Chains A and B, each alone.
Chain A
Amino acid sequence: MIEFCGVSVVFNSGTALETVALRDVSLTVRAGEFVTVIGSNGAGKSTLLAALAGDAAPAKGEIRIDGKKTSGKPPHKLAAKVARVFQDPLSGTCADLTLEENLALAAGRGGKRGWSRALSRSRRETFRARLQSLGLNLENRLAEPVVAFSGGQRQAASLVMATLAESRILLLDEHTAALDPKMAEFVLSLTRRAASEFNLTMLMVTHSMKAALSCGGRTLMLHQGKIILDIAGEERAKTGADYLLRKFAEAGADEDRTLLE
Chain B
Amino acid sequence: MNALAFFGALELGVIYGLVAYGVFLSFRVLNFPDLTVESSFPLGGAIAAAGIVAGYDPYLASMLAAAGGCVAGLITAFLAVKCGILHLLASILTMIAGFSVNIRIMGKPNISLLGDGTVFTAAENAGLNSVYAKPLLAFILAGALLLFLARALASNFGLAMRAAGANPKMLRAQGGDPGFYVYCGLAASNGLVALGGALFAQANGFADVTVGIGTIIFGLAAVILGETLIPTRKMWLLLFACLLGSVLYRLAVAFALGADIFGMRASDLNLVTALLVAAALVAPKLRRKFFPKKKNAR
Contacts and interface: CB of A to CB of B under 8 A. Distances in A.
Contacts, number: 93
Given A96-B166, A145-B233, A118 B159 contact: yes
Contacts of A257: none
A27 interface: no
Contact of A104 (B152, B159, B170, B173): B159
Contacts of B297: 147-148
Q: Looking at chain A's contact residues, is the secondary structure mostly helix, strand, loop, or mixed?
A: loop
Contacts of B172: 74-76, 79
B298 A91 contact: no
B155 A118 contact: yes
**Interface size of B as a range:** 20 to 34
Nearest to A164: B174
Contact of A116 (B156, B169, B171): B156
Interface stretch (A107-115, A175-183, A190-198, A229-237): A107-115
Contacts of A104: 156, 159
In the A-B complex, the 9 residue pairs with the smallest Cβ-Cβ separation, listed nearest first, are A79-B175, A94-B166, A113-B156, A118-B159, A110-B175, A109-B174, A75-B172, A94-B167, A109-B175
B56 interface: no
A94 B173 contact: no
22 contacts: A53-B173, A74-B177, A76-B171, A76-B175, A76-B176, A79-B172, A79-B173, A79-B176, A86-B173, A91-B169, A92-B173, A93-B167, A94-B162, A98-B233, A105-B159, A105-B170, A108-B156, A108-B174, A113-B155, A117-B154, A118-B156, A161-B174
A108 B160 CA distance: 9
**Interface size of A as a range:** 35 or more
Interface of A: 53, 74-77, 79-80, 83-84, 86, 90-98, 101, 104-106, 108-111, 113-119, 145, 147-148, 161
Interface of B: 152, 154-160, 162-163, 166-167, 169-177, 233, 297-298
Nearest to B162: A97
B89 to A, nearest CB: 24
Scoring A76, A84, A91, A147 by chain B CB atoms within 10 A of each residue's CB, the highest score goes to A76
B153 to A, nearest CB: 9
Contacts of A109: 174-175
A102 to B, nearest CB: 8
Nearest to A104: B159
B167 to A, nearest CB: 5
Contacts of A108: 156, 159-160, 174-175
B155 A95 contact: no
